């Protein structure tokens, strides 16, 4: 496998000849050549005298610096070729580090090259570099190679949330159906016409998913092991993404559990955080066996399929984009809409949803069209300023509370506000 990865990197290094930074491309090529010589050597690795320069981490840090700059206002005009170049270098230099860690003898390794540092580099390759397709498959293989198999027995740390004790007085509840009453043909009829479709809940459709039975996500220790205690995940810090002090941080997953989701004390709790709208399954692919893509997502709606963040338009999972939402009680998604059909499955805990149809768009005060938040309302649903937004008071809404096992359908362009009523984990499927 390691020889195959080296060959893959060697084959692709010639794609970097874009005239953007040939010195970096040359350095990466040299490092790959050194690894290939180590792999092809018949000597024992502990006594291997093949020259090795340890420049892999340096190339990675250079690429990471450039990719991060693309999000800054004074670098947003960088050409597509430049962005692609540094993203490719970032991903491949992370894979190179994984090779170095696996092949280079201990006395030749850089002190900075550790198992955790390599896994974190691979996380950056996915989250920041947008690794996809063959590169993402190689990342998964190297993570498995470095981490080894999951332990057979995992301690139990189950989060007990009795949603029956969560009381919300619903004034305008949406309709609930049993999965036995909603076959694919009926579901298609219910969602196909976006002008008349509306949110509804299907019960008992996912009861047999492993996330509820054999690999329950309510067991935080299972999630810690399946994702990885030291794996970096993007966490939103702040009450909601429309606030001025809102920010994002790549945080070790174990720290996120211990300090944000389920802190053992007030002293250990950090700022409000939320792992929101993240394709955690593409990063921690062991989770993929814990659930299935709902058959309902495969019906024909006549609408465009959801585009993945990497632009691969439904490359996997039948054109379905999967995101995980995980956080403590009180996390909020401000009133907003999405362009795709959405099946939202509640796995752990309870969430409150409020919905406004597209017909109410004139009363919810969206941010200006030129804003990056143009799909988001300026109104704080929990405490609306009716002096600034008087029409909001007249906006008609429906609402619901989703509990473990509920599958919520949200039509495209429907405004929705979401608040966690407890520790919560959810999976959304855009299709």
Contact 309, 354 (CB under 8 A): no
Burial class (CB in 10 A: 0-12, 13-18, 19+), 300: exposed
Q: Tens digit of pLDDT per residue, the chain (431 long)?
A: 999 999 999 988 877 766 788 888 888 999 999 889 888 874 444 444 454 566 778 899 999 999 998 866 555 556 788 888 999 999 999 999 999 999 887 777 778 889 999 999 999 999 999 999 999 999 999 999 999 999 988 988 878 788 878 889 999 999 999 999 999 999 999 999 878 899 999 999 999 999 999 999 999 999 999 999 999 999 999 888 998 889 999 999 999 999 999 987 665 556 789 999 999 999 999 999 999 999 999 998 888 654 444 444 433 566 899 999 999 999 999 999 999 999 999 999 999 999 999 999 999 999 999 999 999 999 999 999 999 999 999 999 999 999 999 999 999 999 999 999 999 999 999 99
Residue 234: other Cβ atoms inside 10 A = 19
> Cα separation of 237 and 256, whole Å?
11
Q: Order of strands across the sheet with 247-252? A: 175-178, 200-203, 407-410, 342-348, 424-430, 321-327, 273-278, 232-237, 247-252
pLDDT at 266: 62
Are 233 and 283 in contact by the 8 Å Cβ rule? The answer is yes
DSSP, collapsed to helix, strand or coil, labels residue 219 as strand
The two structure tokens encoding residue 222: 């299972």
Q: At what angle do helices 22-40 and 56-69 cross, to 10 degrees?
A: 140
The token duo for 34 is 């050194």
Retrieve residue 55's tokens.
Answer: 């420049």
User: Which of 68, 121, 114, 113 is closest to 91 using CA atoms?
Assistant: 121
pLDDT, position 113: 87
Structure tokens at 191: 């969602």
Cα–Cα distance list, 351 to 167, 197, 315, 345 (Å): 11, 22, 30, 11
pLDDT at residue number 272: 84
């Amino acid at each position: 496998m390691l020889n195959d990865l080296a060959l893959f990197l060697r084959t692709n290094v010639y794609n970097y000849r874009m005239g953007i930074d040939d010195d970096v491309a040359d350095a990466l090529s040299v490092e790959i050549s050194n690894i290939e010589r180590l792999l092809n050597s018949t000597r024992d690795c502990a006594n291997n005298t093949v020259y090795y320069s340890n420049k892999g981490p340096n190339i990675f840090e250079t690429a990471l610096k450039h990719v991060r700059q693309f999000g800054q206002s004074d670098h947003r005009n960088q050409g597509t070729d430049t962005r692609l170049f540094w993203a490719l270098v970032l991903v491949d230099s992370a894979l190179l580090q994984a090779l170095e860690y696996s092949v280079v003898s201990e006395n030749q390794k850089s002190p900075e090259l550790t198992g955790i540092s390599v896994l974190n580099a691979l996380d950056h390759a996915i989250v920041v570099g947008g690794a996809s397709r063959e590169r993402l498959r190689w990342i998964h293989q190297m993570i498995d190679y470095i981490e080894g198999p999951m332990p057979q027995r995992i301690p139990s740390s189950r989060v007990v949330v009795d949603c029956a004790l969560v009381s919300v007085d619903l004034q305008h509840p949406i309709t609930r159906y049993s999965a036995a009453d909603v076959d694919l043909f009926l579901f298609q009829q219910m969602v196909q016409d976006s002008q008349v479709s509306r949110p509804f809940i299907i019960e008992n459709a996912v009861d047999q998913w492993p996330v509820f039975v054999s690999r329950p996500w309510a067991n935080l220790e299972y999630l810690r092991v399946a994702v990885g205690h030291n794996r970096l995940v993007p966490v939103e810090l702040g009450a909601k993404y429309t606030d001025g002090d809102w920010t994002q941080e790549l945080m070790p997953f174990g720290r996120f559990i211990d300090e944000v989701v389920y802190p053992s004390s007030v002293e250990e709790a950090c700022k409000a955080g939320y792992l929101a709208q993240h394709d955690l399954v593409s990063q921690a692919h062991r989770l993929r066996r814990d659930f299935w893509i709902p058959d309902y997502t495969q019906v024909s709606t006549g609408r465009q399929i959801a585009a993945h963040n990497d632009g691969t338009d439904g490359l996997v999972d039948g054109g379905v984009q999967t995101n995980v939402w995980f956080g403590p009680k009180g996390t909020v998604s401000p009133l907003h809409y999405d362009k795709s059909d959405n099946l939202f499955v509640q796995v752990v805990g309870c969430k409150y949803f409020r919905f406004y149809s597209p017909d109410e768009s004139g009363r919810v005060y969206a941010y200006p069209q030129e804003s990056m938040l143009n799909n988001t309302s300026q109104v704080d649903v929990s405490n609306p300023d009716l002096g600034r937004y008087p029409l909001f008071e007249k906006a008609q809404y429906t609402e619901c509370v989703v509990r473990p096992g509920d599958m919520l359908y949200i039509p495209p362009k429907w405004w929705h506000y979401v608040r966690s009523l407890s520790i919560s984990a959810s999976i959304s499927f855009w299709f």
